[in-house]
Structures are given as structure tokens and as C-alpha cells.
């Protein structure tokens, strides 16, 4: 190799970095868009989204029928917050949708070793976790909020602005809180379980099993304990993931959940504190599990 005749060869093995030192804001947003895009491509997603709207159809019909009859008789139709509470308490289909979009959130990356690729880019572990959590949250939030919001707008238009805000003035802000709670709980639990697995369907089975098992256990416990007051019995029967979501929702609405179909009415609202502790605990544990598991390198333990 010939040496240039302009002087000694400079050592170019290392140069100080002169590029930008700050990371871009909202680094987790591309992960959110990728998760939403992959979810929207699934036909099952749209099937479950449509099925989750079916419980709202009879309520829309009954509200319209009440308007056409020109009556607000509670014997014909329960109070509107009770109807909202009844729809909110039936969270089976939103749960199925959360399992579809969230079971493989991190497990699929673990299986394909994509986690190291993500974290080799200029994002932090927190950015990755926020992105995975956020797209699950947005999907579940939309499934809860959109139909409840449309139903409430329909009730407002049929009842009249003055009468509606006079009776249910704070209902719209309550809908936001009602939708945030299950979205945050499902997203936190799913990222926590998914981070420790490589098989998405197994993540769905584990979370669905925990959800169903705790529901049955709470019901059995409520029947086994005798001598409880109505409110205490309602609280014990809600000591599960689904029950805590429904119980907190009924307390926010201040009305026991009712259906458009005739049936027994319960006027006892559960105590909210133990239900809040369950939901907050599940969310914190899920996020801590995910944060502990997510690593930029694969750690081999012998």
C-alpha cells in the first residue's frame, strides 16, 4: 500500500461524536402505530369489535321507544345511569378484544428475538414498554368509550339538552373515567404476562384463566360467608378483576347496574376502596413484571 507524500498518516480510529445528543420526543409512538396497524389487519379484531356493540342495540331501541311514547316512567325503562352501568358491567367482549391485541404484545417479540432489535435503536426500555402498553390501552378504551359516548349523546338528544344536563350533568366526564379503568388494567396485566412468555396464545389463556377463576372464587366466597350486609356481600362478590371493574364503575355512576329486561334490582353498591386496591395492585404488578423482564440483551443463566 502506498503512503501519501503529504506527511504522516493520521490516526482515524476514533472521532468525537458531533451529532445530536438528545433523543426525539414520543419515541414510543411508532411502536403504538405498529401495534394498532397489526391489530387492524386482523379480521377477528373487527368481528369482536362489532360483536361487542350488540348489547347496546336493545338499549338504543328502548330509549327510542321511550321517546316515541313520550314517557320517562321508570317501570318501563330504568334510569339511564343504571342502564350505562349494566352495559359497562358486561365486559366479556372487550376482554376478548384485549386478549386478541395484547396477548402477543411482547411475547411475539420474545419469540422472534425482536426485543433486542427494538432496544438497539435510540429508544429506552421505558419507551418500548409505554408503546406496547399504550396501543392495548387505546384499543380497549375505544371499545368502551365509543358506544357509551354515542348512547349518551343519543339520550341527550332525545331527552333534551336542558333536562339531560339537569339530571346527568357529570355523566360525560364519568364516561372517560369508566373507559380508562378497564383499559389501564387490561393493558398493564397483559404486558406483564406477555413479557414473561414467548407464546401469545398461552398469554391469553393465563390472563383469561385468572380473570374467570377470580370471578368464580369471589362468587363462591360471597355465598359461603353468611351474615353479611347487602353492601358487604356485594363487595365480596366483586373481589375479582371483572367484578372490581364493574363495582368501581357502579360507584362512579352512583347507580346499581340494570338491564332493559325486567329482573330483580339491587340497590346496594359495593364498597369502592377494596376494589380500587385490587385494580391498582394488578396494574402495578403487571408493569413491574414487564419492566423487570424487558432487557436489551438476552441473559443466559446456567
Can you tell me the distance from the alpha carbon of 185 to that of 36, in angstroms, rounded to the nearest whole number?
18
For residues 116 and 247, give the distance between their C-alpha atoms in angstroms, rounded to a whole number: 41
Residue with cell string 353492601: 231
Give the DSSP H or E segment for 290: helix 272-293
Closest CA to 281 of 239, 219, 230: 239
At 205 the pLDDT is 95
Q: How many CA atoms lie within 13 A of 81 on its CB side?
A: 21
d(CA 49, CA 64): 23
Cα distance between residue 119 and residue 127, in whole Å? 9
Q: Grid coordinates representing 113? A: 428475538
Which stretches of the chain score pLDDT less than 50?
14, 17, 72-75, 299-302
CA atoms within a 13 Å half-sphere pointing along the CA-CB vector of 171: 24
pTM (2 d.p.):
0.86
| Alpha carbon distance, N-terminus to C-terminus of the chain | 48
Alpha carbon distances (Å) from 232 to 52, 72, 218, 228, 272:
31, 32, 12, 6, 11
HSE value, Cβ hemisphere, 13 Å, CA-based, for 122:
8
Q: Are 28 and 133 in contact (CB under 8 A)?
A: no
Amino acid at each position: 500500500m502506498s503512503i501519501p507524500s503529504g506527511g504522516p498518516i493520521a490516526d482515524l480510529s476514533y472521532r468525537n461524536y458531533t451529532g445530536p445528543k438528545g433523543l426525539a420526543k414520543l419515541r414510543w409512538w411508532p411502536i403504538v402505530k405498529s401495534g394498532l396497524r397489526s391489530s387492524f389487519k386482523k379480521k377477528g379484531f373487527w368481528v369482536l369489535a362489532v360483536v361487542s356493540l350488540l348489547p347496546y342495540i336493545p338499549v338504543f331501541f328502548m330509549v327510542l321507544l321511550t321517546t316515541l311514547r313520550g314517557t320517562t316512567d321508570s317501570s318501563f325503562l330504568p334510569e339511564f345511569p343504571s342502564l350505562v352501568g349494566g352495559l359497562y358491567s358486561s365486559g366479556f367482549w372487550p376482554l376478548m378484544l384485549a386478549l386478541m391485541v395484547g396477548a402477543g404484545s411482547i411475547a411475539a417479540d420474545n419469540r422472534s428475538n425482536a426485543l433486542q432489535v427494538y432496544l438497539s435503536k435510540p429508544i429506552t426500555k421505558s419507551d418500548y414498554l409505554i408503546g406496547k402498553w399504550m396501543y392495548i390501552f387505546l384499543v380497549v378504551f375505544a371499545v368502551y368509550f365509543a358506544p357509551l359516548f354515542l348512547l349518551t349523546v343519543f339520550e341527550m338528544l332525545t331527552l333534551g339538552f336542558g333536562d339531560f344536563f339537569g339530571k346527568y350533568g357529570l355523566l360525560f366526564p364519568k364516561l372517560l373515567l369508566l373507559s380508562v379503568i378497564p383499559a389501564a388494567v387490561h393493558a398493564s396485566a397483559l404486558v406483564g404476562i406477555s413479557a414473561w412468555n414467548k407464546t401469545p396464545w398461552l398469554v391469553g389463556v393465563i390472563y383469561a384463566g385468572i380473570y374467570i377463576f377470580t370471578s368464580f372464587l369471589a362468587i363462591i366466597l360471597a355465598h359461603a360467608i353468611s351474615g353479611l350486609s347487602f353492601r358487604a356481600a356485594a363487595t365480596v362478590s366483586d373481589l375479582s378483576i371483572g367484578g372490581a371493574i364493574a363495582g368501581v364503575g357502579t360507584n362512579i355512576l352512583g347507580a346499581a347496574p340494570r338491564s332493559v329486561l325486567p329482573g330483580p334490582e339491587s340497590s346496594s353498591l359495593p364498597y369502592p376502596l377494596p376494589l380500587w386496591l385490587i385494580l391498582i395492585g394488578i396494574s402495578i404488578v403487571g408493569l413491574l413484571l414487564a419492566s423487570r423482564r424487558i432487557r436489551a440483551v438476552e441473559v443466559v443463566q446456567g
